[in-house]
A and B are shown apart, each in its own frame.
Chain A
């Protein structure tokens, strides 16, 4: 893993130099969060109202999942652009281990996810107070773990996209249905049986369950199965991606 930190640092600087990418990754989830929070603040003053419940439990998880997806879409796009431009091939002709080149991108995405989460929590502290600092830390850990898990799908998608132009639409095509069926918007129990099965084989479902639970204040031990499922899916997709990954 020689060169990993240097490459990660380099990629962080390069990413930060692209104003649009930086804005899309960091600002949009925060802006959505703040705007929704403001719109509902009046109604949410009544403690048991649906708006209050949504602000307290739904919104943070929704924003977290959006961050995760935005990390994956961004990863797929970057890998596709790097491949199309021959950057991956050029890096592979150096003594860098192939895994180092890809791991650097995962670290960059996780770092920016953590940064966005910190901004989000700072911006949203007026709307809710998480139960404790412990909850906050567990939530951050759960989000980074889930994001790492779904990033492995990103590598698989990046192996399949023919050109950078298709990267974003294809990633969206895969992730938005996954999000719709994840239990984020309506309970999985309300889905028809075949969609319930589909929901169970998507890692996003487990990520949502984990994040919702942790935000409510559950200890991590309540969600061993969610964590195991995310790890298994992550390993599976990473293995598939390493089998099919195209460097050029």
Chain B
């Protein structure tokens, strides 16, 4: 396991009477994609901005690459890359000018032209920022976050407002960042994004960190139940499924039976049972719990509410 590059212990941040972040602690290891996940207003961005050195926590301690982000100033800023939530650039700034300017203010950088190529912005080099689509703007912000070849990259609500296709393209780019050995910290309120992209996630709500693990680990701990739906006209099937190990219930709805259980081998057991008894099946599918279900289980409400 790689060594941690970010330590956060017991940070708290309040804006007047509103406590945005309350006693949050976690570590991020080198080379992983770490997600802060939760609904809008949960305190993800405030936590992130404490790591980026844009805010100082009221209490607690933050260290990024061994430095205190708020006090280190330039010493840390040259080693990290930042993409801010809902950020804009000057409307009439050209894409090429933006990356060249960014390249000019860091002591060491990657080749700006090559970066534009990698992010598919070559044709847009002379386009004004205001003329770019949402996906192009986000790709430009990723370019700016990567221009100094940073060790840690912070991405705040990277795909909000993008269509599914642009979103998938951005996910590929983020995986590419990890493959180059960088550490990525991102925030998202999209459970699907967290599940598909993050190595580990911390679930945040009302400023508190509720739980933290790999997406798979969270699902296994909080939502161990499996569900298999079998469509069959065979009336004897229900009794046969009910006696399988770890099965909690079998609900028949017309020709379709929903089998619920906690046994990790449930799907295999059902398949073997069907095969052993020669049950004729016209449809078969499984539903596995997702992070969305974990969030619902932990908070009692859906993340969209």
Contact = CB atoms under 8 A, between A and B. Distances in A.
Contacts of A17: 92, 128
Contact of B77 (A7, A13, A95): A95
Contacts of B89: 85, 87, 90
B88 A86 contact: yes
B105 interface: yes
A233 B91 CA distance: 33
Closest 8 CB pairs of A and B: A85-B88, A3-B105, A17-B92, A86-B87, A93-B82, A95-B74, A95-B77, A90-B87
Interface string A93-134: 111110000000000000000000000000000000000000
A138 interface: no
Interface string B94-111: 000100011011100000
Contact of A93 (B84, B97, B106): B84
Nearest to B74: A95
B165 interface: no
B139 to A, nearest CB: 15
A238 B216 CA distance: 54
24 contacts: A3-B101, A6-B101, A6-B105, A10-B90, A10-B93, A13-B97, A17-B92, A82-B90, A85-B88, A85-B89, A86-B84, A86-B87, A86-B88, A87-B87, A89-B87, A90-B84, A90-B87, A92-B54, A93-B52, A93-B84, A94-B77, A94-B105, A95-B77, A96-B105
Q: On chain A, which size bracket covers the interface?
A: 20 to 34
Contacts, number: 59
A10 B54 contact: no
A138 B205 CA distance: 63
Interface string A203-220: 000000000000000000
Contacts of B78: 95
A7 B106 contact: no
A11 B91 CA distance: 11
Interface of B: 52-54, 74, 77-78, 82, 84, 86-93, 97, 101-102, 104-106, 128
Interface of A: 2-3, 6-7, 10-11, 13-14, 17-18, 82, 85-87, 89-90, 92-97
Nearest to B86: A86
Given A14-B91, A93-B84, 11 more contacts: A6-B101, A13-B97, A14-B93, A17-B128, A86-B86, A86-B87, A89-B84, A90-B84, A90-B87, A90-B88, A93-B77
B106 A95 contact: yes
Given A3-B105, A93-B52, A95-B105, A87 B74 contact: no
B87 A10 contact: no
A87 B77 contact: no
